[in-house]
Amino acid sequence: MIPDNNQKEELQEKLFGIKREEEEKKTEILAKKFGRPYLNLNILSVDKDDLSILSEESAREGEAAALKKTGRVLHLGVRDPENEKTKKIIEDLKKQGYELKVFVVSFSGLNRIWEKYKLIAPEAVSLRGVFNIQENELREFEKSLETIQKLKEAITDLPTTNLLATIVAGAIKMNASDIHFEPTKNDLRLRYRIDGVLQDAANLSQKQYFFLLSRIKTLSDLFLNVKDIGQDGRFTIKITGKEKRAIDVRVSVLPSNHGETIVMRLLGTSATKLNLDKLGMEPEMFEAIKTQINQPNGMILSTGPTGSGKTTTLYACLNYVNKPGIKIITVENPIEYQLEGITQTQVEEKSGYIFAGALRSIVRQDPDVLMVGEIRDKDSAEIAVQFSLTGHIVFSTLHTNDAVGAVPRLIGMGVEPSSLSSSLKIVVAQRLVRQLCRGCKKEIKPPKEILESVNKIISSLPKNSGIKIPDQISFYESKGCPQCHGLGYQGRTGIFEIMAVDKKIEKLILNKATSYQLFDQAVANGMVTLVQDAVIKAARGITSLEEVEGVVGSLKVAAEKTKTPH
């Protein structure tokens, strides 16, 4: 009698069952030999979040699976605890701070568990150092995150496996530069820094916080069990699909009274769109910089506080001078953009590779143009100055409040005035202001006292600055719309103060003139101040007077300090 299909299936199932039982018995005997507890995975349910602690690639290669996580205790199933690849997984998990309980399991049991990886979003099982997001998934996330309010709604009921991807997608959609995770007594506060201003995005649960903390630390190769000191790391967001791109992420973890705070800085990896004429300079300022950076030698400085756009300006300058036949080398901390055709090196202070040492090595590499991320001490200042005096162009940054402040700062570091006066060509002080959203900006009439201050500031523009302002000017503000995610602003632009070093200023530097004397001469030469340029941006409808005062201070105070134009 020939069995029918149903009988065949029943027979096959019985045979498979017998084979599984035999395999489990052999595995149980093997566990006793290894001195490890045995676990039957065929009757065990595994949570996807726990499984995703190991990537599928690592799990299959090392014949292991993360089975259950309770606090810092992790149950790990392995086929052979003596296998070298399995040992590597165990060592790595211990370094991450997990207290491991290792079970010996069968290969068929592992295969059953590995099948669950198909149910996990790809980004949840990324390798350490790389966070993968599918392009189509990113687009779907972005469609549902038009405003911060919608982000709050989306995150509330989100499974933890999609949590980090949604937060990252929200940051990309809203052009955020930083993501802040701030634990409080009862929950986690999520904030984005958008156009330089922190915006509340959502409040997450304690469970979501612990998942994110563990996930981000693992991606950044940080110690999970270290909680009482700060840690710094980095990883890469890889967006896969037709338009492959990558975003570098710098991570800072810091202990606080309610847990560890996390800040993720998102850095674009391409600076091809950074052009000098797109930074927001008045045409006269743009021409002044072009004239100086086209010279065969000299030092060009960008000054301002942290986050004022100094590095962006330097990258734009490098893009401008980057031509065939020229060798450009940078020394940075960190490398914020990858520049095609330019040699970039990153200092590592922990290993002793500091700015001064890097500069001494670089000058022997025969560059035509050198970019120093920051002049921070006498050694780096003197090397940069001397290099610029020997037929090279040097770009760098300083932390000063205005353009003329760069001179006493460098002399205070120990640079000789005679060397500085010969090497320094131009100083660009700058800040960033938010641009009004074009979709919702509306004309307003500012209060009388504000208008009086504005008019006084505009009328104080140097007559030889070349900048023309219409007699009738209008001012605007924005209330927020879907185009700007309800914020009223979209993107930022620079405000600038440019001091070009001519013979008169060169003589003042040589004679150790005060900042006031340098400022007066620079204004006499036609220098437009930061406050004046900010007001010009408001008068052109680019930004609001409220934003101007938030960046450069009270316009009333600034107006009182203005002098009659030369």
Q: Where are the alpha helices (DSSP H) in 96-242?
A: 107-114, 135-143, 148-156, 160-173, 206-219
Query: Three-state SS string across 148-160, please?
Result: HHHHHHHHHCCCH
Sketch the domain layout of the chain as residue ranges. Answer: 20-119, 130-267, 276-561
Q: 300 forms bridges with which residues in the sheet?
A: 395, 426
Considering only CA atoms, give the Rg of the chain.
30
Q: pLDDT tens string for the chain (566 positions)?
A: 445 545 444 544 554 555 778 889 999 999 999 999 999 988 888 888 788 888 887 888 899 999 998 877 899 999 999 999 999 999 988 877 788 999 999 998 998 898 887 776 554 444 557 888 877 777 776 666 666 677 777 776 666 767 888 888 888 888 899 999 999 999 999 999 999 999 998 899 888 898 899 889 988 888 877 888 999 998 988 887 776 788 889 999 999 999 999 999 998 644 445 789 999 999 999 999 999 999 999 999 999 998 899 999 999 999 999 999 999 999 988 787 778 889 999 887 767 778 788 888 888 899 999 999 999 899 889 999 999 999 999 999 999 999 999 999 999 999 999 999 999 999 999 999 999 999 999 999 999 999 999 999 999 999 999 998 888 899 999 989 988 888 999 999 999 999 999 999 999 999 999 999 999 999 999 999 999 999 999 999 999 999 999 999 999 999 998 875 55
254 secondary structure, DSSP code = E
- Return the CATH fold of 130-267: Beta-Lactamase (3.30.450)
Predicted pLDDT of residue 7: 47
pLDDT of residue 273: 54
Q: What residue type is assigned to position 566 of the chain?
A: H
Q: At what angle do helices 448-459 and 530-539 cross, to 10 degrees?
A: 120
pLDDT value, residue 17: 53
Q: Which two tokens stand for residue 446?
A: 């500012």
- Is the domain defined by 20-119 classed in CATH 3.30.420.40? no
- Burial of 370-403, coded b for 16+ CB within 10 Å and e otherwise, reads bbbbbbbeebbbbbbbbbbbeebbbbbbbbbebb
Q: What is the pLDDT of residue 564?
A: 58
Which has the closest alpha carbon to 100: 89, 116, 113? 89
Cα-Cα-Cα-Cα dihedral of 274, 277, 280, 282, to 10°? 160
Token pair for 58? 């690592």
How far apart are alpha carbons 89 and 73 in whole angstroms? Answer: 15
pLDDT score at 126? 47
Residue 147's pLDDT is what?
Answer: 65
Q: What is the sign of the dihedral through the CA atoms of 539, 540, 545 and 549?
A: negative
In the CATH hierarchy, which top-level class contains the domain 276-561? alpha beta
Q: What phi, psi does 128 have (nearest 5°)? A: -60, 135
**Helical ranges in 326-431 per DSSP H:** 355-362, 378-388, 406-413, 417-423
Q: Please report the DSSP string for 392-420 in residue order.
A: -EEEEEE--SSSTTHHHHHHHHT--HHHH
